[in-house]
Each structure stands twice: as structure tokens, then as C-alpha cells.
Amino acid sequence: MSEEAKNKSIDQASIEMLEKAAQENVRTVFDRAEKMKPCPIGGEGSCCSICAMGPCRVPLAKGKDETPEEHARRTGVCGATVETIAARNFVRKIAAGTASHSDHGRRVVETFKLMAEGKIKDFEVKDEQKLLKLALDLGVDVGDRSNNEIALDIAIICENEFGRQEGELVFIKSAPLKRQEIWRKLGVVPRGIDREVVELMHRTHMGVDQDYKSLMFQGTRAALADGWGGSMIATEIQDVMFGTPTPTLSEINLGVLKEDMVNIIIHGHEPALAEMLAVLSQDPELIKYAKSKGAKGLNLAGMCCTANEVMMRHGVPIAGNFLQQELAIITGAVDAMVVDVQCIMQGLQEVARCFHTKLITTDDRAHITGSTFMLFDELNAKESAKAIIKAGIDNYPNRGDNVRIPQIKTPLIAGFSHETINYLLGGLFRASYRPLNDNIINGRIRGVAGVVGCNNARTTHDSAHTLMIKELIKNDVLVLSTGCAAMAAGKAGLMLPEAAKEFCGPGLAEVCEAVGIPPVLHMGACIDNSRILIAATAMVKDGGLGDDISDLPAAGAAPEWMSEKAIAIGQYFVASGVYTVFGTNWPTLGSKEFTSHLFNDMEEMYGGKWAFEPDPIKAAHLMIEHIDKKRSALGIDKARERVLYDMEMRREIEAV
């Protein structure tokens, strides 16, 4: 194995495919990243390209302290300061991230509404209990109405959240009361999801909002419209329509591809098509069709967040995370890569051209030049998904013999929705977070960390995730994970109950063994970071750990972040009171003042703040320090056991 390949990824399956790519002269994201160094000026947020007088470059001079005069001269042609430029760039990322998650949520609601109206026959309410709970939360009359009647009212309420012009988003009320008051006091409660994104884009147009603090207020309002709006709506409605995840055993890594079967990968984010593919991959007629083409059967695997969705609900195996999308095609065994929206590299088409793989785009919002477009029509879900599968099967005879599938895959248990954790900890009749809170209070569990986010070709694939998570669980911190971070943990074998004994500190190991859970809980796709918000709120409500999310011994991280969605997520976590550490690089370092606003002022305002630490072990220790600080503020920094007093002990107390 070459040293070069080892620096690119810690994942053996990926390393094998990188070597195959090198032998066959196929260029991947790893090669392109090596060839093109990141722009240092854009990288620190010091490039402004919002008008045609620029782009203006206002970089921070390296290696010496800046005098006030030098700082004052660092402006764009219009006079925009570095603070304004860095803040504008930062909040525009929030706008794009919020728009992406929320447009996903909107599409899910549209499908749900069509289902409720009886116009879509191929989907139905799968989780009736969650439907009723949602109805209760949203004030929808239940009575003896049918599921579809209730669903229609819920769909209309959720749909209105996007276009709402005033008032407050309804899901804001899911947050702890104290948190809601903080937001109201600061004026950052979102009015409507679309409105906050549009206003943010307006404010960052040339010559509008030119005060970094003011820009961040609106940035925060948009981010909250993501976490407690678009993302939360997507998760809730998906659970109702496709089922709330429960613990499921599955497998992860490129080794889930099968040499003698038709391999279809579903890649992207929105689960409607993936759901249909998961059902149809068991269809006897399609399996027979695959056999008629010489294959032994049909094998569906996932990639990126859509993989998390169908693995959590159906146990569909995962082929890999973000940086493995091209590598899957390089196996030579992928007959169709079916994509919808978000995190789909355009480089896929170029790689697919070197093999027989058919790259199929399916969403009217996301086309890729050179690929095959086959619209997934929700109104005709089964038939359009069937056509897509058939296109993959028809491509199987073109596979040829340049096939090498790394024989590497890892079992994992996923499916830890908030409801499932509640049930696992508390049992069917008294589902609660009490045992978790108690174990945090008695010190067996030191705290809770959310480790989420992407892969990034600027850092060794999966390395930061794995090192950080191992360090956290070694120090008795329970990890909740989503997105590509969760997949890295799964590949490293950390999502099995057995991992507790091998990798955890004694306290966490004991709890995991007693409850039978892994020390790293897979909570779903990036959209499902909203599950972490709900879990944190449930911990607050259960008592004993303060009265707000910011009181919890908890922290968040995205050590290999890459996308604008990650910035939106980070900001809604910070604004929800969570200390949040990002790795790889930080996009505002060109402005010390704005960076300090994010890294310091935020804590006074929201109780949570940002931090940047590219070293994953150091970052883990920043999180642990924060957790310890919160433990001490709660007065639970000394390990305490709940003691049941017998008569003799009582008498002793009385005697004293």
C-alpha cells in the first residue's frame, strides 16, 4: 500500500480503490484536491465578490501584527470592512445551508400532502403513533378522523411554515422554555423559513447590512429556521410517512457491493425515491428481470445521507460516505448510481465515463451534464422507480471484467431515533431519559457529544472523525452521530455494543453493556440533527441537568466539515446553547473581530459558541473541558451514587 494513498484515507477499502484509480489513470476528488490548493484569501473569508467593482481581496497579512491603520485600509472598493466581508461570506453559507435542508423539507411536505389527499398511492402513514403525537403538538383535531385527514391538516400547517411572513415558527415551541425566551429577547425567533433566507440574501447584497453583529442576528435567525424549522419538519414528516427508525443491524463499506449481482447505489439526501427503491429491490419480478440478464439478483446500497435514511429504516447496507462516491464506481461493479440532491460531485460523471456505470439524475432541481436524467415522479412513485431500477439492470451486461470490490465491510447497528433512545433507556411503559440523566449525574457518563458532518478532501478521510470519537468515548462521553461522521464511526466498528468494552472508559462501558447499546448512536442523516436537538430538550425536561440546553454537559463537533449545510447546522447548535468545535479550516480567520464574535460573544448571548481546532484529539479535549465546566456548574463534578438508606444508616444520620 502506497504512503500516498494512506495519507488520503484511513479506510482500507478506500485506499484499495485509490490504488486502482492510480493504476487506471482515473482522476478523483483526492487528485484534484492535491493539484488545486485552496485559495488562501477566500479560505479566510477575505474575498468579496458580491458586486462587479470587485472581487476585492482584503487578506490578513501573515506573520506580523496589524496596526489599526493597516486594518482600516483593509477594505473593499466600496469601503466594506474585513468584518463585514467575513460576516457576509459566513452568513451566506448559512443561507445556502438553510435553503438546502429546508427545500428538502418542503419537498417531503409536498409529497406528504399529496399522499394525504389520496393523489399518491405508493406512500402511506407508516407511524400512526408519531402522526398522532405530531397532531397533538400542532393542535390538530384527532377525534375519529382518518389518518389521511389528520395528515392533511399537519401538511398544511407545515407547508405554511415555509411561506409564513410573521409570528413564530411552530416548532420553536419544542425547545426548552428558557431557550425560547433567550431567542425572543434577542429577536432571532424565525418568522418563516423562506423569509429568513430571502432577508439574509437581501441584507448581504451590496450596500445593505454592513454591521457584522447585525448580519449575525439575521444569520442566526435563518439558522434557527433550519434546525427548528426545515430540518425538523423533514425529520418529523419522514418518520410519519416512512416509519420512525428503530435499531437495525446492517453493514457498511464498499464490500457491500456484490460481484455477481446488479449493484444499484442510491446517493443524495431525500428519502422518497430511496424508500421506493428499497421496497422494489425485493420485488420478485425485478429480481427475475435481473436474473434474465445473467445476474444472481439485485443489490441496493446507499451513499451519503440518503444511505443513512434507508439504512435506519430498512437496513439497506451503506457503500460509503461522501469521499467514497467516486471510489464506488471505480470498483467497476456499480451498474447504476442513482442520485437526487446535495453532496453529489460533478466529478462522478467523469469517473462514470471511465467505467460502464450509468449515472442517473432523478430530481428536476439537480441535473449533471452528460448524465442520464430519469425524473422520479412522486405521483407515480412505484412506476418511475421501477424504470430507474430497470435501467440499472439493463446496464449489467455491459460490466466487463475490470471489477475489483474491496472485501471490506463492517457490521453496525443504527436506527437510534429520539423515540428509540427514550424507549431503550426507559422501557415501553415508562419511556424516558431518566436513566441517561441519572448516569450523567452519578458520573458514569461524563457527558454527551454530537459528532456530525462531512468528509473533506483537505484532511485524511475519516481520520478526524474516528480519532475524535474514540477519544470522547474513552473519556466516558456518549456520542450521538449523524451524516458522514456516523458512517466513519460505523466503518471503524464503533456502532456495535461490543465496542463499549474495547474503546470506552469504564463508566460508559458499564452503561452501554447494561442497556445493550453501542457507545456511538447513529441518529440518521444530517437533516436528523434535529433529533439531537429534541434529545437534548428531552434531557432538560427530564430534570436534574439544569433548565436549558446550555446547562447540559454536552458539546458538538464537525471535525471534517465541508458543506454550507454544516455551517447552518453549527450556527443553530450554537444558538441553541451548544459549544461547537469545527475542524479542517475556519472560514472567517481574515477578521479577528468577527471571529471573536463567533468564538466569544456568542457564549454571552446564547450560552453556546464556536471553536476551531483542526487537531481532533485536542478538539475532543476542548469538548471534554467544556463538559466538565458544565458538570461543575451543575454541582455534579464529583461522582455520586444514588444510595438507598437502610434503617441503620438512617439511625446514624439521626444520631448525628
Q: Which is nearer to ligand BF8, 189 or 343 (CB)?
A: 343
How would you label 251-281 residue by residue, b for 16+ Cβ within 10 Å and e otherwise?
Answer: bbbbbbbbbebbbbbbbbbbbbbbbbbbbbb
State the minimum distance, in angstroms, from the CB of residue 322 to ligand BF8.
Answer: 4
Q: Which is nearer to ligand BF8, 154 or 337 (CB)?
A: 337
Binding residue for ligand BF8 (CB under 6 A) from 87, 152, 304, 511?
304
Q: Does 623 bind ligand BF8 (CB under 6 A)?
A: no
| Residue 544 DSSP label | S
State the minimum distance, in angstroms, from the CB of residue 564 to ligand BF8.
Answer: 8
State the minimum distance, in angstroms, from the CB of residue 94 to ligand BF8.
Answer: 14
Residue 356 identity? H
State the minimum distance, in angstroms, from the CB of residue 374 to ligand BF8.
Answer: 22
Q: Which is nearer to ligand BF8, 526 or 545 (CB)?
A: 526
Q: Which is nearer to ligand BF8, 161 or 270 (CB)?
A: 270
State the minimum distance, in angstroms, from the CB of residue 651 to ligand BF8.
Answer: 59
State the minimum distance, in angstroms, from the CB of residue 373 to ligand BF8.
Answer: 21
Other Cβ atoms less than 10 A from the Cβ of 329: the count is 27
Q: Which is nearer to ligand BF8, 30 or 396 (CB)?
A: 30
Q: Which is nearer to ligand BF8, 248 or 563 (CB)?
A: 563
| Residue 226 DSSP label | I
Q: Which is nearer to ligand BF8, 268 or 435 (CB)?
A: 268
Binding residue for ligand BF8 (CB under 6 A) from 257, 345, 484, 602?
484
State the minimum distance, in angstroms, from the CB of residue 63 to ligand BF8.
Answer: 33
Q: Is 644 exposed, middle or buried (0-12, 13-18, 19+ CB in 10 A)?
A: exposed
Give CA separation, 410 vs 11, 23, 249, 317, in Å: 11, 26, 11, 10
Spell out, one character per residue from 425 to 454, where the chain touches ligand BF8: x when CB under 6 A holds, - when not: ----------------------------xx
State the minimum distance, in angstroms, from the CB of residue 603 to ligand BF8.
Answer: 25
State the minimum distance, in angstroms, from the CB of residue 498 to ligand BF8.
Answer: 26
State the minimum distance, in angstroms, from the CB of residue 225 to ligand BF8.
Answer: 17
Residues 514-533 that bind ligand BF8 (CB under 6 A): 525-526
The span from the CA of 290 to the CA of 287, in Å, is 5
C-alpha cell at 459: 484532511
Residues 199-238 that bind ligand BF8 (CB under 6 A): none
Q: Which helix (H) or strand (E) holds 345?
A: none
Q: Which is nearer to ligand BF8, 220 or 481 (CB)?
A: 481
Where do runs of H (alpha helix) occur along 146-187? 147-163, 177-186
Name, in order, each residue with C-beta under 8 angstroms of 123's C-beta and a sequence gap of 6 or more. 111, 115, 241, 242, 272, 275, 378, 381
Phi, psi of 333 (to 5 degrees): -110, 5
Binding residue for ligand BF8 (CB under 6 A) from 483, 519, 570, 577?
483
State the minimum distance, in angstroms, from the CB of residue 104 to ligand BF8.
Answer: 9
Give CA separation, 229 vs 104, 136, 169, 448, in Å: 12, 18, 7, 23
> Is residue 34 a contact partner of residue 485, using CB atoms and an 8 Å limit?
no
Residue with grid cell 468564538, as numbered in its chain: 599
Number of residues that bind ligand BF8 (CB under 6 A): 15
> Is residue 450 a contact partner of residue 573, using CB atoms and an 8 Å limit?
yes
Q: Is 54 exposed, middle or buried (0-12, 13-18, 19+ CB in 10 A)?
A: middle
State the minimum distance, in angstroms, from the CB of residue 188 to ligand BF8.
Answer: 24
C-alpha cell at 567: 455551517
Spell out, one character per residue from 255 to 284, where the chain touches ligand BF8: x when CB under 6 A holds, - when not: --------------x---------------
Q: Which is nearer to ligand BF8, 261 or 562 (CB)?
A: 562
Q: Which is nearer to ligand BF8, 250 or 563 (CB)?
A: 563
Q: How many residues does the chain have?
A: 656
Centroid of chain to Cα 46:
27
Q: Which is nearer to ligand BF8, 305 or 351 (CB)?
A: 305
Residues 523-582 that bind ligand BF8 (CB under 6 A): 525-526, 562-563, 565-566
Crossing angle for the helix pair 82-116 and 564-575, nearest 10 degrees? 90
Q: Which is nearer to ligand BF8, 237 or 454 (CB)?
A: 454
Where do runs of H (alpha helix) occur along 24-76? 29-35, 40-43, 68-73
Residues 309-368 that bind ligand BF8 (CB under 6 A): 322, 343
Contact residues for ligand BF8 (CB under 6 A)? 269, 304-305, 322, 343, 453-454, 483-484, 525-526, 562-563, 565-566
